[in-house]
């Protein structure tokens, strides 16, 4: 979990922001899993959440302890805790009308995303613990997912097991094997 001690002051952050942002963007590349042409999982960790908090503090000009803690309270739940992966799932269509149609077609897709370690059973996520992001007629373009792993799955990942990800939804069927770089990043999230 991030604390006040992990954060830069607004002045410090202004000085280091270009270098810090470049480091975080490079870090995020190894944490993205494309699920077809229009969906992706962005796996979060302490560094990606520190960046989110720093950017919010910067944008909102927050420097008082209580509002800083409020931001930490929002983003800390998105940091994996050693037995799970936490990801931002995004449905990505640049064209507004195409996106609107896709979100209507993909109702419930956030519960159809899965991860699989080696030959273990697929793990479907706990979706949107913070708030419901689905309307009666469409899903949201952004969802927050938590994939809980068994101790045996954690041990297998730490030992180098293959990891797959996919979506099993009537309007979108996709599966992919994670490459070694992403697999190593996700293994690092486990205790």
* pLDDT band per the 50, 70, 90 thresholds, residue 130: low
pLDDT of residue 128: 82
Confidence at residue 137, expressed as pLDDT on a 0 to 100 scale: 79
Give the pLDDT band (50/70/90) at residue 133: low
Nearest-5° angle of CA 96, CA 98, CA 104?
Answer: 100
Give residue 105's pLDDT. 95
Q: What is the pLDDT of residues 41-98, one digit of tens each?
A: 999 999 999 999 999 999 999 999 999 999 999 999 999 999 999 999 999 999 999 9
Give the Cα separation of 107 and 166 in Å (integer).
Answer: 16
Q: Which of 133, 130, 51, 137 is nearest to 91 (CA)?
A: 133
């Amino acid at each position: 979990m991030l604390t006040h001690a992990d954060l830069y002051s607004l002045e410090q952050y202004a000085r280091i922001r270009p270098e810090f942002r470049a480091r975080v963007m490079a870090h995020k590349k190894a944490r993205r899993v494309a699920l077809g042409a229009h969906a992706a999982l962005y796996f979060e960790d302490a560094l990606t959440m520190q960046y989110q908090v720093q950017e919010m503090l910067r944008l909102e000009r927050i420097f008082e302890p209580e509002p800083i803690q409020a931001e930490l309270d929002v983003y800390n739940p998105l940091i994996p805790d050693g037995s799970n992966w936490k990801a931002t799932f995004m449905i990505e269509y640049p064209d507004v009308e195409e996106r609107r149609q896709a979100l209507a077609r993909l109702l419930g897709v956030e519960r159809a995303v899965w991860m699989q370690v080696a030959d273990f059973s697929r793990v479907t996520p706990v979706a949107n613990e913070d708030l419901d992001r689905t309307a009666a007629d469409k899903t949201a373009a952004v969802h927050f997912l938590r994939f809980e792993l068994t101790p045996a799955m954690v041990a297998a990942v730490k030992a180098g097991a293959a990891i797959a990800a996919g979506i099993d939804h009537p309007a979108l069927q996709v599966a992919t094997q994670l490459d070694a770089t992403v697999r190593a990043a996700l293994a690092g999230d486990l205790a």
